[in-house]
Amino acid sequence: MKISTITNWAYGVTVILTALSGTAFILSVRSAHDERRSVEEHLALIGLADQLEIEAELRTDEARLYVMRGDTIHLEAFEVANAEEHRLEEKARHADENGATQNELVLFEQIRSQIDTLETLELEGIEASKAGNDEAARSILFGEEHYRHHIQLVENVARFREVVEARTTEALEIAKLRSDWYGLIARILLGITAALFLGVLYFVLRRRVALPLKRMSGIVNRLATQDYEVEVPLENRSDEIGELNAAIHIFRQNGLERERLDMESQREVKMKDLFLQMMHRLQACQRLEELSDVVSIFAPHIFPDLSGGLYVINEQRTALKQVGFWKTPQSSLPEFSPHSCWGFRRGCAHVSHSSREDVMCSHLTDTASVALCVPLTAQGDIIGLLSFTGPADDETSIIEAQLYLKMIAENVALAVANLQLRERLTQLAVRDGLTGLFNRRSLDQALREKAGESEPARLTCLMLDIDKFKRFNDEFGHDAGDLVMQSFAGLLTEVVGDRGDCYRYGGEEFAVLLPEMPREDAFRIAEDIRTRTARMALSHRGMVLGLVTVSIGLADTPQGGVVSSLRTRADVALLKAKDAGRDRTVCEEDGDLRQAAG
C-alpha cells in the first residue's frame, strides 16, 4: 500500500477518533459541572439553615440581655438580628431556586415556624420588660416553652442537614461515576489515536529524512529562543537538507551579531534611563543624606563593575569626608586632606593605576585597582569629590565610562551646591546673625505650632533681659555690646542644652522655651542662668566691662492649657522683675508672683 494511502487512511481514522474523544471529554466536563453544582447547592442550603439557626440564637441572646440589663443597645441589636432573620426566612421561601426538593422545603417551613414562635415569645418578653414586669419577662425568655421550641429548632436544622447531605451525596456519586466513565473513554480513544499516529510516523518517515530534520529542528528551536550558542554542524550535502543546513548556519551568525548589537543598545538605553532617574531624584533631595542615598543606590546599577564613594569638603576646607559609598570593599579613606587627591588639586578627572605612568592619589587604600577621581565643581568652586574604583585588570571599562561619570559628577555637584545654599538660606531665615540663636520669627512659629496642637503639652517660657544694656554701648561702644550679647547667648545655650530652645527676641531681650518641664525645674534653670551671668568676667580692648546681670520672667502652661498668652504672661513677669529692682527671677504662679533676687 502506498504511503499516501496509508497517510490518508491514518488521517481519516485519526479525525474520527479525535472527534469521539473530544465528545467524551465534553460529556465528562458536563458531568463534572453537575458535580460542582450539587456541591454548591449543598453548601447554599446547609449555609442558609445554619444562618437561620445562628441568627435565631443571636436574637434570643439580645432579647435576654435586654431583659436582664435594660440597656436599649441590646434592644436595637435584637431588632437588627430580627430583621436579618426575616430576610433569611424570605430567602428560605425560595430555596427551590437553589435546588431544594419538596421535602426539604417542608423542613424549611418547619424551621421557619419554630423561628416565628420563638420571635413571638421574645417579643412578649420584651413587652413585659418594657412594662416593668421583669419577672414575667424572664419567665418567658428563660422558661420551659422557649427552651422546648429552641430545642425543636436545633433538631429540625439537624434533620434538614441530614436530608440535604443524603441527597447531595447521592447526586455527587452519580455525577462522579459518570464523569470518570466518560473520562476513561476519552483517554482510551486518545491512546488509540496516539498509537496510530506513532505507527504512521514509524512506517512513513525514513532515517535519511527523520534524523537530520530532528537535529535541525532542535537547532532551529534554540535559535528561535535566541540561543545562539548552539553549534550548527556543516554537512556537505547537495540536496535540500544541505541547503537548509547552510541557511541555518548563516542565520546563526547573523543572530549572534544582532544579539551583540541589541545588548549594547539595551545597556545604553538602561544606563540613560537610570541616569535620568538619578538626576530627577537628585533634584528632589532636601538633605545631604538623601542625596548620598540616591547616588549610593543608582551608581551600582549604572556601573555594576565599579565601586565608589561620595565625599564633601567641610566648611573650613581642610578635609574631604565620606558621606556615602557603594559596593565593598571601600578602596579609599573615609576622610582625607584635599591635597591627597590629584583630581581635587588639578580640578579635573584623574585616573590612578599602578600600570599607568602617572602619580597615584594617596587617599586610595587599594593601589592595585584602577580608580577615577572626579571633583565636584559648582560655580567655579570645588565642593566635593566622586571616587570610582574598578578591577585592576579592566582599566578600559573605567576609561570608557569617563563621559558618564563626569556627567554624574556635574549633576551631583549642582545638587550638593543647591542643598548647601538652601541650608545657608534656612539658617539665615531662622537664626539671629549676631548670636546664632533662633530669631523672633522662629519663636512665634514655635508658639503657633504648640497652640495648634489638639492637646498641647506642658510648656514653660522664660523671657530674659540684660539689665542696663545701654550702658555697655554708651561707655564701651557697640562692639562691646555685641560681645556682651554673644557671651550671654553662649552661656544661655550651655545652660539650657538639649532641654529646650533659645531665642533672641530682639535687642538685649532673649527667650527660652522648655517643653514638658515642671515649674520648679524651670525655675532652677532660670536661677542658674541668672547667677552664672552675674559671674561672667568680660573685657573689651583691655577694658573690663563690669558686672552683667539679667532679669527673668517665667510663665508656664499646664498640660492642655492655653499657649497663645504664654509669652505675654512671661513678659509681664519680666516687667515685674525689672520693676522690683532687676537681677532677679519672677515666676507667675496661680495669679501670684514668686521671686528670687540676687
Q: What pLDDT does 3 receive?
A: 40
Task: Indicate the helix (H) or strand (E) that contains 245.
Answer: helix 240-284
As a whole number of angstroms, the distance between CA 583 and CA 598 comes to: 6
As a whole number of angstroms, the distance between CA 508 and CA 251 comes to: 88
Query: Are the C-beta atoms of 139 and 64 separated by less than 8 Å?
Result: no
Query: Are the C-beta atoms of 108 and 94 separated by less than 8 Å?
Result: no
| pLDDT tens digits, one per residue of 20-70 | 777 766 776 676 676 677 667 667 777 777 787 787 788 888 878 887 887
The CA–CA distances, whole Å, from 8 to 195, 200, 216 equal 16, 10, 27
Query: Are the C-beta atoms of 495 and 528 separated by less than 8 Å?
Result: yes
State pTM to two decimals: 0.42
The contacts of residue 444 (CB under 8 Å, 6+ apart) are none
Give the ranges where 70-133 is alpha helix by DSSP (H). 72-93, 102-130
- Which of 42-51, 164-173, 213-222, 485-494 holds the top average pLDDT? 485-494
341 or 209, which is more confident?
341
**Looking at residues 109-119, what average pLDDT do you find?**
81
The CA–CA distances, whole Å, from 362 to 25, 333, 347, 516 equal 79, 9, 16, 52
Half-sphere exposure of 307 (CA within 13 A, CB side): 14
| pLDDT tens digits, one per residue of 254-293 | 767 777 677 777 777 777 788 788 888 877 887 878 888 8
Cell of 242: 544541505
Percent of the chain with pLDDT over 90: 16
Q: Are strands 501-506 and 539-540 parallel, antiparallel or unpaired?
A: unpaired
Find the largest Cα–Cα distance for the chain: 133
The DSSP 8-state label assigned to residue 425 in this structure reads H
Half-sphere exposure of 112 (CA within 13 A, CB side): 17
As a whole number of angstroms, the distance between CA 564 and CA 557 comes to: 10
Q: 98-128: buried (b, 16+ CB within 10 Å) or exposed (e) per residue?
A: bbbeeebeebbebbbebbebbbebbebbbeb
| pLDDT tens digits, one per residue of 571-596 | 999 999 999 999 999 988 643 344 44
Could you tell me how many residues make up the chain? 598
271 or 564, which is more confident?
564
As a whole number of angstroms, the distance between CA 275 and CA 271 comes to: 6
- Give domain limits for the chain: 3-194, 285-427, 440-597
**Coil, strand or helix at 289:** helix
| pLDDT tens digits, one per residue of 77-108 | 888 887 887 887 777 777 777 677 777 777 77
Match domain 440-597 to its CATH number in 3.30.70.1230, 3.30.70.270, 2.60.40.10, 3.40.50.12780. 3.30.70.270
| pLDDT tens digits, one per residue of 473-508 | 889 999 999 999 999 999 999 999 999 999 999 889
229 or 340, which is more confident?
340
Beta bridge partners of 370: 390
Active site residues: 508
Owner of C-alpha cell 419577672: 135
Cβ contacts of 271-274, under 8 Å, gap ≥ 24: 271/302, 271/404, 274/298, 274/301, 274/302
Average pLDDT, the chain: 80
Owner of C-alpha cell 571599562: 397
Owner of C-alpha cell 536661677: 527
Query: Are the C-beta atoms of 443 and 505 separated by less than 8 Å?
Result: yes
The CA–CA distances, whole Å, from 449 to 198, 444, 497, 560 equal 85, 9, 21, 14
Q: Per CATH, is 285-427 categorized as 3.30.450.40?
A: yes
Cell of 429: 531665615
> Which candidate, 134, 151, 157, places its Cα nearest to that of 64?
134
